[in-house]
């Protein structure tokens, strides 16, 4: 008989040997202390650390308005949603949030999912499946959730090199004018730290009659005068057909959504399995998300503070020989280039400096490009930034990380 346990143990040992096995730390985020957190070690020791890999970019997960909205809705409506949207989960808070997100992105309608991942799966799956003989043109570095959605859709897919407008144009030119075409891309690529040339993408897509699908999960809340993302910052929201976003990053809560033309959003609502068969988000989560979005529509303080910390971090790195990727976004990837070495770096940062950052390994990034993904937030201080850079400089010089990478 087949030994299932031995088989999975072999797979896990392989990850360990490659340095890719994921070790999770148990974190506690006391309200008001972010980016400080407590790590609960297995021996019972609690360690205070500074978190440098959080997606809560603006600290909205601890904002008093967000917490108040969450508590009030929980007190009023309880803990759960009661079922899927089709059964019992379409609450007033859900409808209010969808209306808000439609206005936020200048679209006719919006649809809330339980996560950004399921939003991409659901929307791209429907587009690929329901458009006759559709073809999707996908940036080579698109997120796994987008790739999963395209596979669910089952239509033809062409991959163009990352941010390569000329390659995209050639692929579009090769298709019949009347064939349904979709260009799928992200605005901010979180593992590279760069921003897509959205204006050029939109121009070439419209020239060849393609629908533009834009993942803004790492941009909403952060870019644009109201925090509606890179499309708003560039004045392109009307030209992007479908915008996908999340409440789980800069908005500090959880959940995902898509916004676009009413018939398109209604079709996604009607045909997406990841929407139809998933229990709805509960009212208190929806209320918290709405409070965060509404606050950031009018407040730029958090965005400005975060940008100052990002600029300080990049400026400090620029004075060193450490190989960080010089993208235009708020994300600063620092390439180590070896799975075992990047694990050693993060372990040392935690043990000796009280700095918590998780290593990024294959398959999230290609082998040989393993990295730290550093995120300065609105709650980090100048001293936090200086401490991080000093610790990394010391590691680079005393542990010969560059030599390790070369080997």
- Reported as a single tens digit per residue, the pLDDT across 159-188 is 999 999 999 999 999 999 999 999 999 999
Mean predicted confidence (pLDDT) in 5-22: 95
Q: Is 254 helix (H, G, I), strand (E, B) or coil?
A: coil
User: Which sign does the torsion angle of CA 220, 222, 226, 229 carry?
Assistant: negative
Residue 405's pLDDT is 45
* CA–CA dist 289, 97 (Å, integer): 8
- Over 80: is that where the pLDDT of 130 sits? yes
Give me the percent of the chain exceeding a pLDDT of 70: 98
Given 71, 249, 314, 367, the catalytic residue: 249
- Over 90: is that where the pLDDT of 241 sits? yes
Mean predicted confidence (pLDDT) in 211-231: 98
Residue 399's pLDDT is 65
Tokens of 153: 């859709």
- Over 80: is that where the pLDDT of 216 sits? yes
Could you tell me whether strands 181-186 and 211-215 are parallel, antiparallel, or unpaired per DSSP bridges? parallel
- Over 50: is that where the pLDDT of 406 sits? no
Tokens of 6: 């031995």
Tokens of 244: 């996908």
> How many whole angstroms from its chain centre is CA 206?
26
- Over 90: is that where the pLDDT of 397 sits? no
To which H or E segment does residue 158 belong?
strand 156-160
Domain positions in the chain are: 63-298, 300-407
To which H or E segment does residue 243 belong?
strand 242-246
* CA–CA dist 284, 279 (Å, integer): 14
Give me the percent of the chain exceeding a pLDDT of 90: 94
pLDDT-derived band of residue 400, with 50, 70 and 90 as boundaries?
A: low
CATH number of 63-298: 3.40.640.10
pLDDT-derived band of residue 5, with 50, 70 and 90 as boundaries?
A: very high
The per-residue pLDDT of the chain, averaged, comes to 96
Scanning the structure block, which residue is given the tokens 């676009």?
A: 260
To which H or E segment does residue 359 belong?
strand 359-360
Tokens of 323: 């190989």
Residue 54: name the closest of 46, 62, 45 by CA.
62
What are phi and psi for residue 225, nearest 5 degrees? -60, -25
Strand order across the 181-186 sheet: 109-113, 256-260, 242-246, 211-215, 181-186, 135-139, 156-160
Cβ neighbours, 10 Å, residue 383: 9
- Over 60: is that where the pLDDT of 404 sits? no
* CA–CA dist 233, 273 (Å, integer): 33
Q: What separation in angstroms does the CA of 19 have from each of 6, 24, 155, 333, 361?
A: 20, 14, 36, 19, 9
372 CB burial (10 A radius; 0-12, 13-18, 19+): buried
Residue 401's pLDDT is 62
Q: Decide: 241 and 213 in contact? Cβ < 8 Å.
A: yes
Mean predicted confidence (pLDDT) in 115-142: 98
- Over 50: is that where the pLDDT of 403 sits? no
Angle at alpha carbon of residue 380, lines to 379 and 382, rounded to 5°: 135
Q: Is 249 a catalytic residue?
A: yes
CATH number of 300-407: 3.90.1150.10
List, in sequence order, every residue forming a beta bridge with 7; answer none if it has no partner. Answer: none
pLDDT-derived band of residue 398, with 50, 70 and 90 as boundaries?
A: confident
Same fold, 63-298 and 300-407: no
* CA–CA dist 220, 229 (Å, integer): 4
Q: Where are the alpha helices (DSSP H) in 46-193?
A: 64-77, 92-104, 116-130, 144-153, 165-173
């Amino acid at each position: 008989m087949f030994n299932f346990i031995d088989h999975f143990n072999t797979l896990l040992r392989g990850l360990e040997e490659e340095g890719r096995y994921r070790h999770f730390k148990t974190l506690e985020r006391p309200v008001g202390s972010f980016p400080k957190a407590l790590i609960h070690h297995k021996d019972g020791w609690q360690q205070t650390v500074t978190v440098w890999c959080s997606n809560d970019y603006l600290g909205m997960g601890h904002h008093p308005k967000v917490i108040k909205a969450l508590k009030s809705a929980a007190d009023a409506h309880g803990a759960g949603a009661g079922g899927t949207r089709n059964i019992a989960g379409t609450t007033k808070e859900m409808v209010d949030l969808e209306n808000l997100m439609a206005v936020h992105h200048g679209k006719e309608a919006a649809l809330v999912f339980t996560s950004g991942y399921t939003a991409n799966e659901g929307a791209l799956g429907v587009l690929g499946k329901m458009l006759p003989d559709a073809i999707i043109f996908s940036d080579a570095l698109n997120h796994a959730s987008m790739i999963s959605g395209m596979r669910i859709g089952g239509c033809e897919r062409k991959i163009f090199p990352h941010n390569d407008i000329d390659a995209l144009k050639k692929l579009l030119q090769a298709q019949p004018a009347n064939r349904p075409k979709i260009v799928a891309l992200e605005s901010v690529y979180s593992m590279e730290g760069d921003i897509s040339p959205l204006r050029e993408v939109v121009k070439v897509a419209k020239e060849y009659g393609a629908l533009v699908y834009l993942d803004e999960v790492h941009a909403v809340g952060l870019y644009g005068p109201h925090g509606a993302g890179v499309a708003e910052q560039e004045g392109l929201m009307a030209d992007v057909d479908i915008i996908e976003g999340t409440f789980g990053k800069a908005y500090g809560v959880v959940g995902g959504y898509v916004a676009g033309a009413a018939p398109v959003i209604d079709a996604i609502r009607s045909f997406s399995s990841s929407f139809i068969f998933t229990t709805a988000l509960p009212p208190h989560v929806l209320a918290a998300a709405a409070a965060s979005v509404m606050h950031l529509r009018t407040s730029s303080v958090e965005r400005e503070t975060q940008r100052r910390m990002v600029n300080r971090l990049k400026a400090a790195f620029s004075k060193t020989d450490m190989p960080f990727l010089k993208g235009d976004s708020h994300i600063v990837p620092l390439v180590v280039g070896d799975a075992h070495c990047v694990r050693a770096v993060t372990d040392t940062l935690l043990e000796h400096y009280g700095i918590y950052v998780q290593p990024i390994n294959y398959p999230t990034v290609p082998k040989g490009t393993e990295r730290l993904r550093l995120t300065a937030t609105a709650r980090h201080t100048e001293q936090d930034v200086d401490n991080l850079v000093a610790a990394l400089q010391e590691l680079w010089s005393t542990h010969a990380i560059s030599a390790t990478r070369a080997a």
